[in-house]
Copies of this chain bind each other. A is one copy, B any other.
Amino acid sequence: MKKAATVLKSNSIRVTPQRLGVYKLLREEKRHFSAEEVYAKVKNHFPAISLATVYSILELLKEKDLASEVRINLDKASFEAKKNEHHHFLCKKCGEIFDIHIELCPTLKRRETQGHSIDKFQGYFYGVCKNCRGK
């Protein structure tokens, strides 16, 4: 895997420690983070970083297609490093988000439906996760 700094540069993002910190966090821990969580984590390395900076870095990574925002939670956004198209599952007990890798049916893969042209499709699943089942 390419070094994080190289990826940023090749996307014409000026490399700063804060940006590197946020991007590496998303790439290395392969889970979903709220902006607050990113802030808390990155703060360990850069105590002076501010929440607003975290938001602006996340926005930048989104624009450059290095991160994506998931809105399966009703109250706040989650962020993850960009991966192949996949879908999400939200556990209503523990609140954790899981990636769902499922091959979608042809109907959902169409790039057009009812006259609308489709750029992107996101599948959101809700239920109880395997850890919480039987508790």
Contact = CB atoms under 8 A, between A and B. Distances in A.
How many chain copies does the complex carry? 2
B98 A102 contact: no
Contact of A121 (B105, B118, B125): B125
Nearest to A116: B129
A17 B129 CA distance: 41
A29 interface: no
Given A107-B102, A108-B105, A114 B130 contact: yes
Interface residues of A, number: 37
Interface of A: 69, 71-72, 74, 77, 89, 91-92, 98, 100-108, 113-130, 133
16 contacts: A89-B118, A92-B119, A102-B107, A102-B113, A104-B107, A104-B108, A105-B106, A105-B107, A116-B128, A116-B129, A118-B126, A119-B126, A119-B127, A120-B127, A122-B125, A124-B124
